[in-house]
A and B are shown apart, each in its own frame.
Chain A
Amino acid sequence: MFKELETVGQPIGVPISAEDAASAPVLSSKTRRRMQPSNMTENTKWVECMSRISLERDRAAFAVIFDHFGPRVKAFLVKSGSNMSMAEECTQDVMITLWRKADMFDPSRASVATWIFTIARNRRIDLLRKERRPEPEELTWGPEADPEPEELLGLQQESTQLVAAIATLPDKQRDLIQKAYFGDLTHAEIASETGLPLGTIKSRIRLALERLRHNMKRNEP
């Protein structure tokens, strides 16, 4: 939650080398070959924009995020069954939320794409299903639990790797994941669908759990 902005801000400009990415153990060599160094810095660029929006109310930084993610959010909503005018209205809502709640973005927990996805998903439930979306309580990490720069970079890197890993899946599996997230699969269908490539996700889960345990150990009195 940007408690220590110096800590959060410091690693942002540091470029991540392709070698770092290639040393990640969870990816196949095929995936590694597909990863471009330019992709590796994209996530940290978005994080930097969020930081500038939060700290300086920087309209230019907002425009950078808006121009990249706005059309994606709108496409996501259209593919989720929204009509054009509702998708436009909903995307504008999502972007206003991003502007107003920029302080709540936590780069040690999610990439900017992931955070925007959660806002868009909740608006979709709100608008298309007219339902409330119950959300878990926020964690109240102690002040000593502010993210280490390496952790922050690590998470942003993982998110890039996940995009790359999904991009290399066979079409059928990738389509299934997309269908699920566009809201085209029911829970029963997700539960019974054997073609969902949960292995891809599991590697990301393993890393998240390791990081969590590391955090909890550090927080022990």
Chain B
Amino acid sequence: MTQINHHLDDSLLMGYSAGALPEAFNLVVASHISMCDECRARLGAFDAVGGAVLEDAGSVQLEMAAADLLDAVGTEKVRPVVSKPTSSIYPQVLLDYIGPDPDQVKWSKLGMGVRQAILKTSSSASVRLLHIPAGCEMPDHGHHGTELTLVLQGAFRDERDRFARGDIEIATEDDHHKPVADESGPCICLAATDAPLHFSGIVQRIAQRWARI
């Protein structure tokens, strides 16, 4: 198991458990938990709070009785499908969004060797894969709202610390950080932001930034 030093915070775990996060954030949270047993255990506690809320939610009478429901659906079981741990750097939950073949990620160029692939989620937040060459500065993928960056391969460093595979950096709009990929190799990250950005806007801004360098 990878040594993970940067974890999800309580608000993200509770938000994920309560179903309050946008889909893009859910994807980053679920990907991190796939790699991090500690956050998985913490999530279990937040889910247990959900169970307690359910117990205490009151009671609204159902229109159908148990026996009638069973008569209607039959008795067949669904066998649990336990997916094999993937050998790729992408957890299964992420492969569900990328497609079965991670070599087929549809990267598009952002300039300076940086590539991105936007994953399709609901529009309240956006999520993308970023591929940053060794030693290169990461594009800033949002100036407002909350920004989650999960390292899938390699590592990056910023003013705060070093972030390697499995680590998650949580940044808010007050943070002005300039992450730089390790010299040792390219860094692949999953980055989500709930900033209300237009796709064309971010590409332009990033292009402008790189043009200035």
Contact = CB atoms under 8 A, between A and B. Distances in A.
Contacts of B77: 57, 100-103
Interface stretch (B53-61, B105-113, B159-167): B53-61
Given A72-B54, A75-B60, A216-B37, A208 B45 contact: yes
Contacts of B21: 187
B contacts with A: majority SS:
helix
Contacts of A74: 59-62
Given A76-B53, A166-B49, A92 B64 contact: yes
Contacts of A78: 60
Contacts of A196: 14
B104 to A, nearest CB: 20
Interface string B62-84: 11111101100101111110111
A129 B51 contact: no
Contacts of B70: 59, 62, 99
A84 B18 CA distance: 21
Contacts of A117: 47, 50-51, 53-54
Interface stretch (B92-100, B177-185, B198-206): B92-100
Contacts of B92: 137
B82 A99 contact: no
Interface string A170-208: 000000011011110111101100001010010011001
A120 B12 CA distance: 20
A88 interface: yes
A188 B122 contact: no
Interface in A72-92: 72-76, 78-79, 84, 87-88, 91-92
Given A109-B44, A201-B45, A216-B37, A72 B62 contact: no
A132 B23 contact: yes
B50 A187 contact: no
B30 A167 contact: no
A216 B84 CA distance: 19
B48 A198 contact: no
A44 interface: no
A135 B78 CA distance: 18
Given A183-B19, A187-B25, A190-B11, A211 B41 contact: yes
A185 B17 CA distance: 12
Contacts of B23: 131-134
A193 to B, nearest CB: 8
Contacts of A27: none
B51 A71 contact: no
B54 A73 contact: yes
Among B14, B40, B49, B93, the most chain A Cβ lie within 10 Å of the Cβ of B49
Interface in B86-140: 86, 91-93, 96-97, 121-122
B59 A212 contact: no
B48 A72 contact: no
A95 interface: yes
B82 A113 contact: no
Contact of B61 (A71, A135, A190): A71
A30 to B, nearest CB: 17
Contacts of A190: 11, 14-15, 18, 20
B52 A162 contact: yes
Contacts of A16: none
B54 A120 contact: yes
A208 B41 contact: yes
B44 to A, nearest CB: 5
Contacts of B85: 137, 140
B122 to A, nearest CB: 5
Interface of B: 9-12, 14-15, 17-23, 25-27, 29-31, 33-34, 37-38, 40-67, 69-70, 73, 75-80, 82-86, 91-93, 96-97, 121-122, 146, 194
19 contacts: A1-B82, A72-B59, A79-B57, A88-B64, A96-B69, A113-B55, A114-B48, A114-B50, A115-B51, A116-B51, A133-B23, A134-B29, A139-B40, A187-B11, A190-B15, A190-B20, A196-B14, A201-B10, A204-B49
